[in-house]
Amino acid sequence: MDGKICELCATTGGTLLWECPTCRVVRVDDPHYPGFCRVVWTAHVRDMTDLDPGERHSMMNVVFAVEAVIRTLFAPDKVNLASLGNLTPHLHWHVIPRWHDDRHFPEPIWGSTQRDGSRPRAIVTDDTLRQALSKQLHPAENQG
């Protein structure tokens, strides 16, 4: 890391919603993209192939669970999944709800802004997201 401290080793990377020993789910504070989450691998590794096959499977199960929760709670037109890490070379996935009228559509959210604003979106609290993620990731524990 060229002597730099890794942001995702030093901080959670957003508002913590769920965690297990190997990874965590955080909400990104972006008013234009409510529901934007990151799935962050706990240990400092750069790429998916740094994980063994079981760890890769586990990571993607969490990514897919986050996508399912976002689709249910926010009803986006599309969900983008991205694992870039060019600026932060610590394994993490972006799970981003997208709408046809969002600021960047059809560009990626890091692309050129296409319009100034978008219509208001459903307000979903961090607690609601936490509960939904817990049910999605641990369904047997939530039966009762």
Judge whether 78 lies within some domain: yes
Does 66 score more than 50 pLDDT? yes
List the domain range (segments joined by +) for residue 41: 7-134
Q: Is residue 142 part of a domain?
A: no
Confidence class of residue 144 from pLDDT cuts 50, 70 and 90?
very low
Q: What percent of the chain has pLDDT over 70?
A: 93
Q: Is residue 141 part of a domain?
A: no
- Residue 1 forms part of a structural domain: no
For range 16-43, the mean pLDDT:
95
- pLDDT band at residue 3 under the 50/70/90 scheme: low
CA nearest neighbour of 131 among 14, 11, 8, 17: 17
**Count: domains in the chain:** 1
Question: Pick the residue with more confidence: 50 or 120?
Answer: 50
State the CATH number of the domain containing residue 36. 3.30.428.10
Residue 140 lies in a domain: no
Over residues 33-65, the pLDDT tens digits come to 999 999 999 999 999 999 999 999 999 999 999
44 vs 91: CA distance, rounded Å:
7
Q: What mean pLDDT is predicted for residues 8-18? A: 96
Give the pLDDT confidence score for residue 143 in this predicted structure: 46
Residue at 112 is within a domain: yes
Determine whether 91 is exposed, middle or buried from the number of CB atoms within 10 Å of its CB (0-12, 13-18, 19+): buried
In a domain, 23, yes or no: yes
Structural domain contains residue 144:
no
